[in-house]
Amino acid sequence: MRLSRHKSSLLSLSVLAALSSPALAQVKVDGVIDPAEWQGARHVTDFRMVQPFTQSATRHPTEAWILATPDGLAVAFRNTKIAGVETPRQRSARDQDVAIDRVNVMLDFDGDGRSGYDFTLTASDSIQDSTITSGGNFSSDWDGTWQHAVAEDDDEWTAELLIPWHTAPMKKVAGDKRTVAVYLDRVVGSVGERMAWPAVSFERPQFLNQFEKIEIPVFSQSLLAITPYVVGLHDLVARDNSFDAGADIFWKPNSQFQLTATINPDFGQVESDSLVVNFGAQETFFSDKRPFFTENQGFFDFGLLFDNSQLLYTRRIGASADDGSGPADITGAIKFNGSIGATQYGAFVADEGGDGGRRFSALRLQRSFGSHNLGAMVTNVDRPFLDRNANVLGFDHRWQPDPSLTVSSTLVGSDIEQAGQHTRDVAFTSMAQKTFAKGWSVTGLLIHYGEDFEVNDAGYLGRNDLNYAQVELGKRITELPAESAWSSHNLRFRVEGMQNNDGLWLQRQTRFQGNSQRKDGGNLNWNMQLRTAAFDDEITRGNGPMRVRNGGNGFIGRGFPRRGNWQFAVEGSIGVASGLRQDTPYAWSASVSSTYYINDALNIELWMGHVMDQEQLIWQGDELGPGHENVVAGFHMNRYDLSASLNWNIGTRQELRVKLEALGFDADNPIAWRLGTDGRGVVSNDPVQPFSLRNMGFQVRYRYELAPLSNLYVVYGRGGFGYDPFAAGAFDQFNDAFSLRNDEQLVVKLAYRFEL
């Protein structure tokens, strides 16, 4: 059948219109901005300075395009260079934070300010990605799959990113349009300047709520991905071999639901924690890099304001088994999250095998009501070996009536059943943050943790039994003379106090701190704090408080911009120890760090530090045994630390990392103190001995990226710990640390992601 000329013309126009329609747009992610590919995109040119936070027009011409496509949200940047400002091109490892030129795309898929994602692309095509919580906290533990590319010439560098719709679950919407919230920025690394659209700062608590809301066509993307892994380990000390295997599963059938599961998950054979020496009563907090436990974990974020406190701390899963047999074997875990109408939900279950294994579960709900966001979370841990069952129920509420005010509160209750006996208590937290004109801000915190409040079966809580209050006044200064070497100053003054529930003062102090940015890309950080006399009710592990005298300290840190192949930073602190001695013992620390860039792909980093404390207080009850529960010793402590690494980014798919950490610690000239009923120390003749220790960790890690989130690792690791019941000198201990060989392993791991 032959079409008439009129009908043929209409058909041609229809085809051309369909091909150019934004709803069907296709973008080739090659770093080259083709006008035909970006036809119909939103064009952004109003980038303004946010670092320093002047909100004035930028001197670095920048423009961007945003386009919704069936494959994801596409974003392009054109970054014009200006004379006299360098564009560093060194490559970096994934999630490595370095001072180089980069662009950021931050995206809140639901546009409600509850959670977001940050996608960072550098001028050398290196990437970072992070999750963002409603409190403005960034976590780089999460790794996503997204496309990226850069191109460069003498006048500009351009970047293209494509963020798939399966990155996160999204609420179902009526009609064919969806509202998302977007934030774009460009960082000029050599001078530390940042320009953004919209002109808001990530340093402010309302950051996530101030993204620009845009309306885009509704797209839905399904994905089924299976990532099996196999790992082989050769123990060079025990002369033994072991093998393991498992798999992670990711399924998103539609935009409203997402499920992640794991079978025998990897416990981080190719990751290593930093060396830690901790004599305190509070456990050390570690982040989690296991893929299953980082995938969309931000939805389960439920913090309690103090330190790293949270209701679900995934490092508990697979930690030491309750029967003391070593790390628990994780049989499997599953979590899913999605939305029904305006309500978001998520559930989490993990099961450990063996007699000392546990079962963890959590349920999370959230819903917005205008300017209010209300959520709930419940966790349960069943610990059969200990005849213990732990339940925690929490409610969180955030109110933001306008962009300048945020009030966040939580109410949490815990119920611990041990051998048929229940122990219950509650916690309450509230934080209000208000910003004013001319850079002023006020923050207030109130925290109450009951004496029997407990979340550490599933979560992390440094301590319970406290009442804390804080008021902080802040001032940001950006209007500085043109001839000034500084671009901004951020000053804060804080008054804070903490009591336990018996009314005992644990802390009363004032703090004055400043963070300043220089126009050459350097920075200066400092703080001073003064403390009144108070009590430490944790040091004896529940065997009576210790009264400590007043004290204070000061800190200063200076970061220098890169000059040629070198970059340096120095830090130092000095203070009066708040201990038991009356002769005003003091403590000081100093460190220096440097990076030498051999070329754009290879660099060497070195950090060295020294700490001296004339009164390092350490509880002796566990060392001396019964009858010494209220004995505390003060030592003259010296410590030396070294952290060194070689980073070689071999192209875009390969990297080699060599990392060395070592420390030497010496505690000499002990003074034994027995604490009276009033908490005051009395010098005693208890047989307290000096001691020293050393620690070392060394790792060589090679990674080859076979495909996105598919990697081959070859890792050699060696480390050890040494302890001497006498003072051997911190520097001697540091030197001896390099000969430690308690552990020595060779690990080969292969993980490949299949998308079905």
Q: Lowest mean pLDDT: which of 47-56, 80-89, 534-543, 731-740?
A: 80-89
pLDDT for 165 beyond 90: yes
Shortest CA distance to 76 belongs to which of 200, 144, 162?
Answer: 162
Task: Kindly report the number of other CB atoms within 10 A of residue 533's CB atom.
Answer: 12
Mean pLDDT across 10-24: 39
Place of tokens 């007043």: 550
How high is the pLDDT of residue 484? 93
Name the burial class of residue 546, with classes exposed (0-12), middle (13-18) and buried (19+) by CB atoms within 10 angstroms of its CB: buried
Closest CA to 601 of 199, 93, 16: 93
Per-residue pLDDT tens over the stretch 110-164: 888 888 999 999 999 999 998 888 767 788 878 889 999 999 998 999 999 999 9
Q: Catalogue all structural domains in the chain, each as residue range(s) with its CATH number.
A: 22-219 (2.60.40.1190)
Residue 6 pLDDT level (bands cut at 50, 70, 90) = very low
* Alpha-carbon gap, residue 61 to 83, rounded angstroms: 12
Amino acid at 309: S
Q: What is the mean pLDDT of residues 167-173?
A: 85
pLDDT for residue 268: 60
Tell me the pLDDT tens digit for each residue of 678-703: 999 999 999 999 999 999 999 999 99
Task: Report angle CA 32, 34, 36 to the nearest 5 degrees.
Answer: 165
SS3 6: helix
Long-range contacts of 135-140 (CB under 8 A, 24+ apart): 135/205, 135/303, 135/408, 136/202, 136/203, 136/204, 136/205, 136/207, 136/208, 137/301, 137/303, 138/202, 139/287, 139/294, 139/297, 139/298, 140/95
3 state DSSP class of 319 = coil
pLDDT at 54 over 80: yes
Signed CA dihedral, 417, 418, 423, 425: sign only: negative
Q: What is the mean pLDDT of the chain?
A: 90
Percent of the chain with pLDDT over 90: 73
What is the rounded radius of gyration, in angstroms, for the C-alpha atoms of the chain? 28
Task: Give pairs for 501-510: CB < 8 Å, separation 24+.
Answer: 501/450, 501/451, 501/465, 501/466, 501/467, 504/535, 504/537, 504/545, 505/532, 505/534, 505/535, 506/466, 506/534, 506/535, 506/536, 506/537, 507/531, 507/534, 508/532, 508/534
pLDDT at 19 over 80: no
Write the CB contacts of 4 (distance below 8 Å, at least 6 apart in sequence).
Answer: none
pLDDT of 278 > 70? The answer is yes
The mean pLDDT of 461-479, rounded to a whole number, is: 95
What pLDDT was estimated at residue 256?
Answer: 87
610 pLDDT more than 50: yes
Residue 605 corresponds to which tokens in the numbers above? 């980093």
Measure the CA angle with vertex 254, ends 251 and 257; round to 5°: 65
pLDDT at 25: 61
Q: What is the pLDDT of residue 112?
A: 84
For residue 11, pLDDT beyond 60: no
Section 667-676 average pLDDT: 95
C-alpha–C-alpha distance, residues 581 and 633, integer Å: 11
Q: What is the pLDDT of residue 10?
A: 35
- Rounded distance between C-alpha atoms, residue 619 and residue 628, angstroms: 9
Cβ–Cβ < 8 Å for 689, 734: no
pTM, rounded to two decimals: 0.87
Sheet with strand 62-69: strands edge to edge: 42-44, 62-69, 72-80, 156-163, 147-152
Give the range among 74-78, 295-299, 551-555 with minimum mean pLDDT: 295-299
Whether residue 353 contacts residue 360, with contact meaning beta carbons closer than 8 Å, is answered with: no
> What pLDDT score was predicted for residue 24?
53
Query: Which residue matches tokens 């004995």?
Result: 631
Average pLDDT over residues 278-303: 86
Interstrand relation of 359-369 and 343-352 (parallel, antiparallel or unpaired): antiparallel
pLDDT in tens, 244-274: 999 999 999 988 899 999 998 866 666 777 8
| Tens-digit pLDDT profile for residues 536-560 | 999 999 999 999 999 999 999 999 9
- The answer to whether the beta carbons of residues 132 and 118 sit under 8 Å apart is yes
Find out whether 508 and 532 touch, Cβ atoms under 8 Å: yes
Distance between CA atoms of residues 34 and 67, nearest Å: 13
81-104: average pLDDT: 84
| Per-residue model confidence as pLDDT tens digits over 367-396 | 988 889 999 999 999 999 999 999 999 999
- Span 562-572, mean pLDDT? 93
Q: What pLDDT, in 10s, does the model give residues 194-237?
A: 999 999 988 876 788 889 999 999 998 899 999 999 999 999 99
